[in-house]
Every structure is written in structure tokens, then in C-alpha cells.
Amino acid sequence: MIARVYVATKNAGKLRELRAIFAGSPIELATYDGYADVEESADSFHDNALLKARTLRKQLRTARVEAAVIADDSGLCVDALGGGPGVLSARYGGKEATWEARRRLLLGEMRNVPDEERSATFVCYMPLILADGQTWMGEGFAKGAITREERGAGGFGYDPIFIPKGETQTYSEMGEEKKNKISHRAAAARALLEICGEVL
Ligand code: ITT
């Protein structure tokens, strides 16, 4: 059976990847134009992810739509920056900063960090709430390293400055097809499908 699931995201890059990742799975993603972004006030990916999913669920129910929802809270945790920007990844350098400025800021802060200390982890928490309230959470991680300069034009966000462990290309350079096989988001989706697959 295919379950129609509304996705709580305003991030076009994420949405594109989620559609590709769930293609061929029992989850068919739908968007809701009325989804009003939520203040990500929690201090963990887990709780912010739940906040987004619950917000969309409430908005749909107000509009008399009883449906399942999914969300994605993700970010980049850099060891040399004490795990930052972490849950603040989307707001690093200020809410109004451009993505180029955010990447430049991060590379600048890492200027004096030697190659062997440039490790970082992309994190993704992905909750699914069914219409009846049953909730599951998928978690995914991708370990890797921060480059010294931007490389590649594909993807979004921090993609041009992150090289996954065991790879030579950044997320941007490798292209979405490969990224969607090895990314933190793909891992979270796989974990989620594994735990909720039977009830879908
Ligand atoms: P929604 O909350 O509407 O989904 P957002 O951009 O605010 O969108 P997050 O709060 O999860 O999303 O912020 C995470 C930020 O980390 C996000 O803005 C991304 O640019 C970045 N990020 C997450 N996954 C990424 C990926 O696969 N590649 C590059 N950057 C990523």
C-alpha cells in the first residue's frame, strides 16, 4: 500500500532529495501550501524535528485534512567548532545571511584547523506521524570532513564544503544520485522505513 504523507519543510533542496529518496517506497510525499514554518526553539535535532511534524499535523487538522506527516531536522556538526553550527545550521551567521556567506564564515573559522582535525558529521532526524498519532523517528548520520574551499555547484546548503568519509568529492561534486545513496538524509529515511514499514 502507498501512504500519502505531507512533508513539513520549506527547504526546496531537502524536498527534492526527499522525493528522490522515497521514490519507489511505500511513502508518497505531498506538500501543503498552508504550512507555516515553526520557530525551531528546541535544542536538539530530535525535538525540532518533532516540533515541525506536529505543527504541520495541527495545521492540516485545522484544515480538516487527516493525514500522515513527515519532517526533517538536519544540520552540520563540526568537531573543531564544538559541534557547531549543529541545530543552528540554518541560522549560522544570522537569519538573513546568504548560503555563500555562511559557508565562507565556516571556512574562515576553520582557517587554522589542520587537515586531521577537520572532521564533521551531518545529522538528520526524521519523524513520521500517522493520521492516528502513531509516531516513529528515523535517525541518520554521515561522517566526513570540511574542505578548505568550496568545491562543486550542485546540491544546497553546506554541500560544497563537506566530503563524506571514504569519498574524494564533496556532496556538491558527486551529484544528487550518489548523495542520495550515502547521505545522512538517506540513512534517516532507511531507518524510518525499517521501523515503520510493516504498518504502512
Ligand atoms: P525546514 O525546517 O523548513 O525543513 P531548514 O532549512 O530550516 O528547512 P533545518 O532547520 O533542518 O532546515 O536546517 C538545517 C540546515 O542545515 C539547512 O538549512 C541546510 O542548508 C543544512 N543542511 C541540512 N542538510 C543538508 C544537506 O544535505 N546538505 C547541505 N546542507 C544541509
CATH number of the structural domain spanning residue 163: 3.90.950.10
Cβ–ligand 1 contact at 121 (below 6 Å)? no
- Please give the distance, rounded to the nearest whole angstrom, from the Cα atom of residue 90 to the centre of ligand 1: 6
Domain that holds residue 74: 3-199
Q: Compute the distance between CA of residue 118 and CA of residue 81 in angstroms, rounded to an integer.
A: 9
Q: What's the pLDDT band for 37 if we cut at 50, 70, 90?
A: confident
Query: Using 50, 70 and 90 to split pLDDT, how confident is the model at 41?
Result: confident
State pTM to two decimals. 0.97
**What is the pLDDT averaged over residues 160-166?**
98
Q: How many domains does the chain have?
A: 1
**For residue 42, is pLDDT > 80?**
yes
Q: At 115, is the pLDDT very low, low, confident or very high (cuts 50, 70, 90)?
A: very high
| pLDDT higher than threshold 90 for residue 1 | no
- Residue 38 has a pLDDT of 86
Residue nearest to atom 8 of ligand 1 (CA): 11
Among 72, 73, 79, 159, the one annotated catalytic: 73
pLDDT grade, residue 200 (50/70/90)? Answer: confident
- For residues 92 and 111, what is the distance between their CA atoms, to the nearest angstrom? 17
DSSP string, 93-128: T-TT--HHHHHHHHHHHTTT--GGG-EEEEEEEEEE
Quick one: pLDDT at residue 198? 72
What is the average per-residue pLDDT within 86-107?
97
Work out the mean pLDDT of the chain and round it to a whole number: 96
Residue 158 CA to ligand 1 centre (angstroms) = 9
Query: Ligand 1 centre from 66 Cα, in Å?
Result: 27
Minimum CA distance residue for ligand 1 atom 1: 9
CB of 89 shorter than 6 A to ligand 1: yes
Q: Mind listing the pLDDT tens digit for each residue in 117-152?
A: 999 999 999 999 999 999 999 999 999 999 999 999
Q: Is there a contact between 38 and 45 (Cβ–Cβ < 8 Å)?
A: no
Best probe residue, ligand 1, of 7, 10, 11 (max atoms within 8 Å of C-beta):
11
CB contact at 8 A, 12 and 36: no
Confidence class of residue 2 from pLDDT cuts 50, 70 and 90? confident
Q: Report residue 160 as a C-alpha cell.
A: 560544497
Q: Which atom of ligand 1 is nearest to 52's Cα?
A: 2
